Structure 1
Amino acid sequence: MTDIAPTCTPQRHPLLWPAMAALLIFGWSSGFIGIRYANEEASVFLLLFWRTLLSGLILLPFALAFGPRLGLRAVVAQMGFGVMAVFLYLGGFALAIEQRVPTGLVALIADLLPLAIAALSQPLLKERLTARQWLGTGIAVAGVLTVSFDSLSFGAAPLWAYGITVGSMLVFAFASVLHKGRKALHIPVHQSLCIHTLTGSVLFGICALLAGDGLSPPMTGKFAFGIAWLVLIGTFAAYSVYYTSLRMFPAAKVSAAIYLSPPVTMLWAWALFDEPLTATMFVGLAITLAGVWLTSRD
């Protein structure tokens, strides 16, 4: 069931969307930093367990004190969304990497998320993209492919691991469209994110135990820094801005900003880890910017 558009749409400041898009790109791309630090000290499932557990526990007192009182039906609906948007999305990519699907290919498939959301928005939300927006989407995809070209390889992972990579991206795309279209999911963002992350933490904890990793965190500075970064920026900044933007703007417009995540991630890697930048990356960044501008402009 889709939202009914109000007869009078409130005017928003013209700089609101650019500011929110910048925050979204910053949070989405910077998740790489936390993973880079924390994954050196712990397995992927243990890392995701502590990321989601701490995120949920920090938000819990605010979720209980501020906002409407949630009934069982609302909580169950949010838990279902948390399974899709947190556990299956993050866990699927983590499992794919663990099965030796090349990281560059995993990142490329993950960054095609806006294309899947754009395709689902038309039949499920009746948000029709114009010819200009489809052209912008195609240009942005070409930019992402250009940026990722040097790091692409297919590896020797089992076929099902590649399927999990694509499936995880499609699950999050469906969850995003579902969140946009169902008013039952529109509770305050801090409450919904609390339920999503706590749900994910239970499932990631079970996976860590089944894998024999235990639940004890490594007592190292790198792990602490990585988890702090993933909680504060990778979860709070990225997810909260993403959910809020979905409620205010068309889904395809919001997701288009994610196309800029790969080139911005490479700038992070250059600034913090001295990873090289190539002329191809800058060409890809320029192409992606042009595509996102065409897709997002009113």
Structure 2
Amino acid sequence: MNALLSIAFVLCWSSGFIGAKLGADSAPAVTLLMWRFLPLAAILLAVAAFSARTSWRRLTARDVARQAVIGVLSQSGYLLTVFSAIQLGVSTGTTALIDGIQPLVAGALAGPLLRQYVTRTQWLGLCLGIGGVALVTTADATATTGAAWWAYLIPFLGMLSLVAATFLEGRSRTQVAPAVSMTIHCTTSAAVFTALATCTGAAKPPAEPWFWAAIAWLVTLSTFGGYGLYWLTLRRSGITKVNTLMFLMAPVTAVWGAAMFGEPFTLQTAIGLTVALSAVVVVHSARPRTREGAVTATR
């Protein structure tokens, strides 16, 4: 079951980069994101209004505020950087590869922030994963994409935003149901992107069918699939193993982007994919140790 959950998470999360590419030529990033989250927030709020409210009743105003901040970091900040980088010409594979550095950052901070020990075997896997990411990033970044050098810095900001959201959630003492957290996150993102689109005069959606096809793709696969499975997998498997799965996003997206958009996929990319897959196997074979009475990422 955990293996199937991991596979579904990797595929659905990777689909977000592909969806961003699908809609990149039809509208600005804020327009895509506004119309991605407006209907999604409406649906989730309607479901919350007519469903059992037991999951909401025990939440305090502070819990809701914390989830709103997590939503700004893990959705608004992260997605805006991803979509902006792709629209500036950075390939889907390269964007995913830069975001693939996240596991090393999260793994390095897991000890001091969450009191979760990272074993030597896990560190070996994390370093192996970084090597795989570096190989594929080099192959992808040296290809002619038309993007300015500074555009490659934008995904780094998104990676740091997602890391911050992950640790903010990990330090929370209140376990919020995935459906509840997703509703708060999506509603917050809908408000943020609507404000940004309105202020920049980009709120009106284009009539192009590719725009709405990209919206449907992003809502179904990327949000309900990728984003929902991210938090579910985080609770079931722990922060180190979940973030190690992020190593797979880069090679999977590179293969996917090559098949759909003709983006470069070289021998060096294939070697990087193999190294990244080996890293996942190594980390998932290790068992983290925690102090007695310490709070772990799985709570």
Q: TM-score range by the shorter chain?
A: 0.7 to 0.9
What amino acid maps onto 2:170 in structure 1? K
2:32 to 44, 47, 53: 47
Equivalents in 1 of 2:104, 2:89: separation in Å?
A: 21
1:29–1:261 CA contact under 8 A, matched in 2: yes
C-alpha distance in 1 between matches for 2:94 and 2:16: 17
Supply the distance in 2 between the matched residues of 1:163 and 1:26 (Cα, whole angstroms). Answer: 25
Provide closer, same or farther for how the CA distance between residues 163 and 289 of structure 1 changes in structure 2, counting only shifts above 3 A: closer
Unmatched segments (≥5 aa) in structure 1: 1-15
Two-structure CA RMSD over aligned residues (Å): 2.3
Q: How far did residue 250 of structure 1 move?
A: 1.6
Number of residue pairs matched? Answer: 278
* C-alpha contact 1:57 1:194 (8 A) present in aligned 2: no
Q: Among residues 205, 218, 221, which one is paired with 2:194 in the alignment? A: 205
Report deviation, 1:95: 4.3
- Supply the distance in 2 between the matched residues of 1:144 and 1:216 (Cα, whole angstroms): 38
Map of 1:168 onto structure 2: 158
Name 2:16's counterpart in structure 1: 31
SS in 2 for 1:128: coil
CA drift at 1:157: 5.3
Q: 2:131 aligns with which of 128, 142, 152?
A: 142
* Cα deviation 1:104-156 (Å, max 9, x = unaligned): 65433212111111112111111111111111111111111212222215964
- Fraction of identical pairs, as percent: 33
User: 2: distance between equivalents of 1:223 and 1:24?
Assistant: 24
Alignment equivalent of 2:120, drawn from 112, 126, 131: 131
Partner Cα separation in structure 1 for residue 265 and residue 154 of structure 2: 30
- CA distance in 2 between counterparts of 1:151 and 1:268 reads 13
Which runs of 5 or more structure 2 residues have no equivalent in the other structure? 287-299
Q: Is the 8 A contact 1:101 1:157 kept in 2?
A: no
Normalised TM-score (structure 2): 0.85
Partner of 2:176: 187
Per-residue CA distance 1:224-258 (angstroms, 9 max, x = gap): 11111101111111111110111122201011011
Q: CA deviation at 1:221?
A: 1.7
Equivalent residue, structure 1, for 2:267: 279
Worse overlay, 146-155 or 253-262: 146-155
2:168 is aligned, of 165, 170, 178, to 178
Between the aligned partners of 2:217 and 2:100, the Cα distance in structure 1 is: 21
Any idea what the Cα deviations from partners look like across 1:19-56, whole Å, max 9, x if unmatched?
11101110111112211221221101111111122222
Encode CA deviations 1:194-251: one digit per residue, 9 max, x unaligned: 11111111111221222221x2222222111111110111111111111011112220
Alignment of 1:295 onto 2:295: no
Would the aligned equivalents of 1:82 and 1:197 in 2 still touch at CA under 8 Å?
Answer: yes
Aligned to 1:62: 47
Higher deviation after alignment, 23-32 or 56-65: 56-65
CA distance in 1 between partners of 2:256 and 2:95 (Å): 18
Query: Distance between the aligned counterparts of 1:253 and 1:207, measured in 2?
Result: 35
- Give TM-score scaled by structure 1 length: 0.85
